[in-house]
Amino acid sequence: MSPTPRSNFLRTQIQADLDTGQTIKVVTRFPPEPNGYLHIGHAKSISVNFGLAEQFAGDCYLRFDDTNPEKESQEFIHSIQEDVRWLGYRWSGEVRYASSYFQQFYEWAIYLIDQQLAYVCDLSADEAREYRGSLTEPGRNSPSRDRSTEENRDLFERMRAGEFAEGARVLRAKIDMASPNINLRDPILYRIRRAHHHQTGDAWPIYPTYDFAHGQEDAIEGVTHSICTLEFEDHRPLYEWFINHLPVPHKPRQIEFARLNTSYTLTSKRLLKQLVDTGVVAGWDDPRMPTIAGLRRRGYPPQALRHFCEEVGTSRSDSTVDVAMLESAVRHQLNSEAPRAMCVLRPLKVIISNYQGEEHLWLPCHPNEPAMGMRSVPFSNTLYIDADDFREQANKKYKRLVIGKRVRLRGAYVIEAERCEVDPEGHIIAVHARLIDGTLGEDPADGFKPKGVIHWVSAATATSATIRLYDRLFTTPNPAQDDDVLTHVNPRSLEIIDDALIEPSLTSAMPEAVYQFEREGYFVADRYDFKEAAPVFNMTIGLRDTWGGDNA
């Protein structure tokens, strides 16, 4: 179920349009360019667009804005669809592609030529830049601006036929070279590009610009509210100019909102691609990546992402959200849904002197959800506990196992440490302990209650597992502030433990299932690498925020 919608300016605007009858049925779209994997910022855009369609019983389309073939690929098209579905949204009808409207865009370009509203320009890129002027100076008309309609048509048709070299000519709208809005100074509609396109192959040697394509895509699809981020605000007059000067079947409206930025995170496909290309991470879906595929592989539940996107709100002012807020949404979700289990990350052997044989203890899969059932956990006289949970001596604050002191083994007995074995280098290699009789689910009869509870596994039935521990990928809250984001990469963002020990119930984990490893945190069975005989878990998140600074 989606979180309850809170009021925001988009919802208010759409409700007003429905009330006045200007909108009959709400149609939105999510329009990614397939030039990378989607990130957490896109999750926000997805939740805004699909969420509005859901709230107002309208349609939301998934449309690939594929006008830039060199940087796009089928891999990205595939991953984007998977991400949207995984977040729990369903687009209306078929997936749409801007490229399937190329013929229509071409005809509309000819229409503008015929209306004397577009011309073929011969300026080189450098000259065009010079003619464009600046924020303080008006631009100058291109010498090509007054070409006859016949000549423009002839040249544009020859551009389309592939007669000219890349960069030799462009098609431009004839608007106003003196406009204070640079986007209106005769913007480019078409460029010559000898690029193979993943959908249209070699059919087109010219490609429309984003500005010439986007609004017309919305118009063709009957989009009522074209929602985008604030950087397109200055493009809105151009968006409207096209809609008003072309014989479009429908007039969509562009509305902008502020991008979502989160601390310690990159939300730019270009910069994320750099991390992939330089091998800083293992791929776009590396669990350290803020991509939707990475967060998925990390074990973040889709409901937590949706919840976070709703919580951060939708506004028109740019800000950066503390990533701790996302992490807290993840913890909240997992605390209620993740089954509990035991995993010992750094095993230390414990030998119990006064216990023989083996028994099966039944432990609840979740302390507050009896419906999740019970699991069988074998117990014997040779166990493993975490090396951090034993000290030869310690002060009162240390509530774990200490020689001469007691601790409760989670879901099992109370034990008391008697002595430990140390190797020639001084490392503790085993602890000898005795079990206090009658302490299964009961306090010790002699009144000496243990202070702490520790997790454990039984040696004979534990399975060795690989555990990937993650830390933040960046050491600074705003890694993108610098030209070189690579200097902010945390060199210790990944630690691999390959001899952890897990209890038997974990070997049958389903890929992508998330567990709470008692006292350690949340861990997900890796969707690709987990095998029953060789389990691999990725750390999703710790049990509490250990990044003090953020929440303090």
> The tokens of 423 are what?
């190797």
413, 420 Cβ separation under 8 angstroms: no
Residue 314 C-beta-side C-alpha neighbours within 13 Å: 28
Select the residue interacting with ligand ATP from 26, 118, 170, 228 (CB under 6 A).
Answer: 228
CB of 549 to ligand ATP, least distance (A): 24
**Angstrom distance (rounded) from CA 1 to CA 306:** 10
In the chain, DSSP finds a helix count (H) and a strand count (E) of 12, 29
Q: Which does 267 bind (CB under 5 to 8 A by kind): Mg ion, ligand ATP, none?
A: ligand ATP
Q: Which residues, 11 to 70, sit near ligand ATP by CB under 6 A?
A: 31-33, 41-42, 44-45
Give the range of 158-166, 268-276, 337-345, 351-359 binding ligand ATP by CB under 6 A. 268-276
Using the minimum distance from each CB to ligand ATP, give the nearer residue, 23 or 45.
Answer: 45
DSSP run (H or E) holding 239: helix 236-245
Q: Which does 228 bind (CB under 5 to 8 A by kind): ligand ATP, Mg ion, none?
A: ligand ATP
Task: Work out the angle between the directed axes of helices 40-55 and 74-86 (0-180°, nearest 10).
Answer: 60
Using the minimum distance from each CB to ligand ATP, give the nearer residue, 28 or 505.
Answer: 28
Distant-in-sequence, close-in-space partners of 108: CB < 8 Å, separation ≥ 6: 216, 246, 247
**Angstrom distance (rounded) from CA 36 to CA 47:** 19
Q: Which does 333 bind (CB under 5 to 8 A by kind): Mg ion, ligand ATP, none?
A: none
Using the minimum distance from each CB to ligand ATP, give the nearer residue, 45 or 538.
Answer: 45
CB of 65 to Mg ion, least distance (A): 7
Q: Which does 268 bind (CB under 5 to 8 A by kind): Mg ion, ligand ATP, none?
A: ligand ATP
> The tokens of 125 are what?
């890129």
Using the minimum distance from each CB to Mg ion, give the nearer residue, 33 or 322.
Answer: 33
CB of 29 to ligand ATP, least distance (A): 9
Give the range of 9-17, 30-38, 334-342, 444-452 binding Mg ion by CB under 5 A. 30-38
CB of 262 to ligand ATP, least distance (A): 9
Residues with catalytic roles: 33, 259, 269
Using the minimum distance from each CB to ligand ATP, give the nearer residue, 45 or 507.
Answer: 45
CB of 33 to Mg ion, least distance (A): 5
Closest-CB residue for Mg ion? 33
CB of 271 to ligand ATP, least distance (A): 8
CB of 210 to Mg ion, least distance (A): 7
Using the minimum distance from each CB to ligand ATP, give the nearer residue, 83 or 186.
Answer: 83
Q: Distance from first CA to last CA of the chain, Å, rounded?
A: 32
Q: Which residues, 281 to 300, sit near ligand ATP by CB under 6 A?
A: none
Q: Which of 458, 44, 48 is nearest to 262 (CA)?
A: 44
Burial 472-483 (b: 16+ CB within 10 A, else e): bbbebbebeeee
Closest-CB residue for ligand ATP? 41
Q: Is residue 229 a contact point for ligand ATP (CB under 6 A)?
A: yes
Q: Which ranges of 187-229 does DSSP label H, i.e. alpha helix?
A: 210-221
Using the minimum distance from each CB to ligand ATP, give the nearer residue, 317 or 395.
Answer: 317
Q: 225-229 and 253-257 as β-strands: parallel, antiparallel, unpaired?
A: parallel
Neighbours of 86 (CB within 10 A): 15
Q: Which residues, 237 to 266, sit near ligand ATP by CB under 6 A?
A: 259-260
Give the range of 25-33, 378-386, 488-496, 530-538 binding Mg ion by CB under 5 A. 25-33
Q: Which of 334, 343, 338 is nearest to 517 (CA)?
A: 343
Give the range of 10-18, 29-37, 245-253, 463-471 binding Mg ion by CB under 5 A. 29-37
DSSP-assigned beta bridge partners for residue 467:
497, 537
Select the residue interacting with ligand ATP from 267, 303, 328, 458 (CB under 6 A).
Answer: 267
Using the minimum distance from each CB to Mg ion, give the nearer residue, 33 or 512.
Answer: 33
**Angstrom distance (rounded) from CA 43 to CA 30:** 10
**Angstrom distance (rounded) from CA 506 to CA 530:** 11
Give the range of 31-39, 83-91, 145-153, 476-484 binding Mg ion by CB under 5 A. 31-39
3 state DSSP class of 7: coil
- Cα–Cα separations (whole angstroms), residue 194 to 64, 84, 201, 489: 20, 32, 11, 37
Residues in contact with Mg ion, total (CB under 5 A)? 1
**Angstrom distance (rounded) from CA 334 to CA 304:** 9
Q: Is residue 269 a contact point for ligand ATP (CB under 6 A)?
A: yes
Q: What angle do CA 344, 401, 439 make, to 5 degrees?
A: 95
Binding footprint of ligand ATP on the chain (CB under 6 A):
31-33, 41-42, 44-45, 228-229, 259-260, 267-270
Binding footprint of Mg ion on the chain (CB under 5 A):
33
